Amino acid sequence: MELSPLAIGALRPLPVAPSRIPAGFPSPAEQYQHDTLDLNELVVRHPAATFYAWAEGDSMELAGIFAGDLLVIDKSEEPRHGDVVIAAINGELACKRLNLNAQQLESNSHVSYKPMPCTPDVGIEGVVISSVRMHR
């Protein structure tokens, strides 16, 4: 699978509401837009090393990653214990949590999936920096 970096300037700045929006009852907060936000600036630290991928399956639901989510992956970040990573396992890509103490890749799901040992043929392709969930 060919992974290409994020195109610089692929997104343009969009308006941002001046205050946070409650997910409960409506607030009488201002409804005016004061600023703009470029999602690249928010989620991309290293544009030349960043790529997107669509999540599939249910193995990372307890990590907040669901089928259909858009993952933002940085190939230049050094993977750390507990990071969600994209790993190449037998030529296939998988999204898993990195457990450096046990030297394995783990799922975060309500369903029991066996951990995968970090053997020499497993390659970490990047660290998941953030995800975007589509609601429609």
Q: Which of 19, 75, 96, 131 is catalytic?
A: 96
Distances (CA, A) of 69 to 34, 102, 111, 123: 28, 28, 19, 22
Is 4 an annotated catalytic residue? Answer: no
Q: Is 75 a catalytic residue?
A: no
Q: Which fold has domain 46-132?
A: Umud Fragment, subunit A (2.10.109)
The residue among 3 and 96 whose pLDDT is bigger is: 96
**pTM for the model:** 0.76
pLDDT tens per residue, range 98-127: 999 999 999 999 888 999 999 999 999 999
CA distance 136 to 130: 19
Q: Look at residue 17 in the predicted model and tell me its pLDDT.
A: 59
What are the sequence ranges of the domains in the chain? 46-132
| Sequence letter at residue 51 | F
4, 19, 27, 59: the catalytic one is 59
